[in-house]
Chains A and B, each alone.
Chain A
């Protein structure tokens, strides 16, 4: 009896032990079933001599193929080079609303720009790299001949180390480059949803942001770095430039220099702050004095000055920008011999509102690892109010343009832009509605 009892106890213990052992090793059949148990190769299984020869053979073929391609099919450069460019295909229609029946429409000639960028000397220690940019643009002219001109052509050197995001930056650019006055010139596509720039910044306005030849310092101070989001924003950004003033691709015509300065204050906050993307900027531009004359033969030197303020709040998906610029130009008060110097003040401003339905402006989200040619489809409706007054002392000579539009980003470097503008130019009593449909694509 004792033996039977003992046997039962031992058997019971063994059974319990077995159960608990099984619970330890295979706790639930579902766990094993759900994760398929494919036949896995043994990790230490040796390869045969034949396997090794096979791999060597494949490597030799690959090596030969690469060498042949490098020799015959692959372009080579002395230093690193990145080629990029952009062009657009446009259809536009114009309706003159105060001239019934007048209507123009058609496909517009395209312009093409190509840019070469690269590194001339790389500083592995501190990232004080020496870089270059050379770009050209070609556009059709009224005589249907192409007009190819250099655009950017400058050398760039980082005066401060760039390896550490938490340190300020300072870059020197020498050569032909954009004058960075205001939001219009200094901003990227993220802050500029409209095809045409603001009237005050263009050729019929204050001509603020064309290219010029000179020296420019760009830098920032007191950066806030949010490592968890890969986000960096400096409290202060600044630009200081000295230029010939003659414009792009032209030799200097006088001894005076144009001077430009811009300072931007950004909200010093992390990525997840509601104030992220809030900036205030101020710019000034002092061109050299120019010769002025009048019909009576008076001659003299006239001064010019431009300044502007801007505010922007761009934090995807919403965006708002407002910019105001003033120009002061000295000239003779009239065309008589008794004319005196007087100053004409002009001013312009823009207000732009936009909203992004999509992830176009989230830089990290776009860097997806995928097998297809995916891109976040993004729809960006916007509205911009643009006003330009060429002489503030003259009434009813201003131009107002209200533009409604939609940008559709559907591939990495391609967007469809639809702009519908209502223009009211009081100085010439011109009222017109413009529709522009444009594909902008780059490589």
Chain B
């Protein structure tokens, strides 16, 4: 008995030591970060993620902690990143509003912690000889759309604004080169997100562009983190958010436009088109990362639209999903709390 009494405190001390050690190591060995990939198959992306990647901002931020950054660029973009979240392969990822919303409504345990970009643009192109001059005239026509992407949601909303629904047109699920080939062959009447190169070549004309539309109609990106990671490593998440905000601030400065176009050009887009589109934006608005009321209302409206149109089966309460705590703390730390107000 005496022996046990002597051993017990030693055992308790040892256990406490282990506990202390485990608390001291309460940081991840690796941060698994997901980005939208690209058709070229190279590890590059655009937007805030593009700047973070190009300038190795995460690696710099976490070098002193010995935390490795594992970057995953998925060519399958939003659906692929949702699959990776569902399979427990990512901690954090930034991608489009539509897959953000559909993934969460489908059961993914994520928190929406930052806005990636506001006001992504898209366009509808039609044949140059066509008499179509308004979206209303698309009724009954064959339209090429990449289903499952934010462009589908954008198009669906544009139709509603013009008194139509997806059921009033013949939507064909066509992506990239397939859509272009079908359009040039005359098999379809319009393409959503059609290339400006076709317009330059005289093979198409622009029917509709979103760059003058209100923000509520345009595309957005969101940064999501898994609930488990956010709960376990709140300080790490705040620092990741801080890096994102630094990149957003850099993007909002007009003097960095040329360098950004070089960064985004690595994803394989046409430089001339990207530049033309980019210069139409108010950069400070475009790169505003705040989870403000406008951002939450925007996502809520889109989630409601998705539910009403059968894209998601469960209603989504965006206010509950959004977690401002990281971004507000990071903005304050960076002295940017008034910059985007």
Contact = CB atoms under 8 A, between A and B. Distances in A.
Interface of A: 23-24, 27-28, 30-32, 34-36, 38, 40-43, 123-126, 163-165, 226-231, 270-273, 316, 359, 362-365, 367-371
Most interface-central of B181, B185, B250 (chain A CB within 10 A):
B250
Contact of A30 (B43, B98, B334): B334
Nearest to A41: B258
Contacts of B106: 226, 228-229, 270-272
Interface string B42-82: 11100000010001010011000000000011111011101
Given A40-B259, A124-B187, A126-B172, A35 B80 contact: no
19 contacts: A23-B335, A35-B55, A41-B259, A165-B147, A165-B173, A227-B148, A228-B79, A228-B82, A228-B148, A229-B106, A270-B313, A271-B82, A272-B108, A273-B107, A364-B76, A364-B84, A369-B42, A369-B43, A369-B75
B142 interface: yes
A329 to B, nearest CB: 46
Given A31-B336, A38-B259, A270-B313, A370 B80 contact: no
B86 interface: yes
A125 B189 CA distance: 10
B261 A43 contact: yes
Given A30-B334, A165-B147, A365-B89, A124 B188 contact: yes
Contacts of A124: 178, 181-182, 185, 187-188
A228 B74 contact: no
B171 interface: yes
Contacts of B243: 34
Nearest to A164: B173
Contacts of B38: 369
Given A23-B338, A31-B249, A368 B82 contact: no
Contact of B83 (A125, A163, A365): A365
A365 B87 contact: yes
B174 interface: yes
Contacts of B173: 163-165
Given A362-B84, A364-B83, 11 more contacts: A32-B250, A35-B250, A163-B172, A164-B171, A226-B106, A228-B105, A272-B108, A364-B79, A369-B43, A369-B44, A371-B42
B219 interface: no
A359 B86 CA distance: 12
Given A31-B336, A40-B255, A124-B188, A365 B74 contact: yes
B336 A27 contact: yes
A277 to B, nearest CB: 13
A243 to B, nearest CB: 34
Contact of B247 (A35, A163, A273): A35
Interface residues of B, number: 70
B289 interface: no
Nearest to A163: B172
B275 A24 contact: no
Given A41-B258, A370-B43, A371-B42, A35 B57 contact: yes
A273 B334 CA distance: 41
Contacts of A34: 57, 60-61, 243, 246
Contacts of B51: 35
Nearest to B184: A124
Most interface-central of A35, A273, A362, A370 (chain B CB within 10 A):
A35
A229 B37 CA distance: 15
Contacts of B174: 163
Contacts of B187: 123-125
A19 B263 CA distance: 33
Contacts of A40: 255-259
B258 A226 contact: no
Nearest to B60: A34
A228 B334 contact: no
A311 to B, nearest CB: 23
B103 interface: yes
Contact of B99 (A27, A123, A126, A228): A228
Nearest to A372: B43
Interface string B168-205: 00011110001001100101100000000000000000
B339 interface: yes
Interface in B105-152: 105-108, 142, 147-148, 152
Contacts of B311: 227
Contacts of B57: 34-35
B40 interface: yes
B74 A368 contact: yes
B102 interface: yes
Interface in B248-281: 249-250, 255-259, 261, 275
B234 interface: no
Nearest to A276: B86
Contacts of B86: 229, 271-272
Given A165-B147, A368-B74, A359 B99 contact: no
A230 B43 contact: no
B41 interface: yes
A328 to B, nearest CB: 44
Nearest to A28: B335
Contacts of B313: 270
B87 A367 contact: no
Contacts of B334: 27-28, 30-31
Given A27-B339, A163-B172, A163-B174, A364 B74 contact: yes
Contacts of A231: 79, 83
A369 B40 contact: yes
Contacts of B41: 369-370
Q: Which 9 A-B pairs have the closest CB atoms?
A: A228-B102, A230-B79, A369-B37, A364-B80, A124-B187, A124-B182, A28-B335, A369-B73, A35-B250
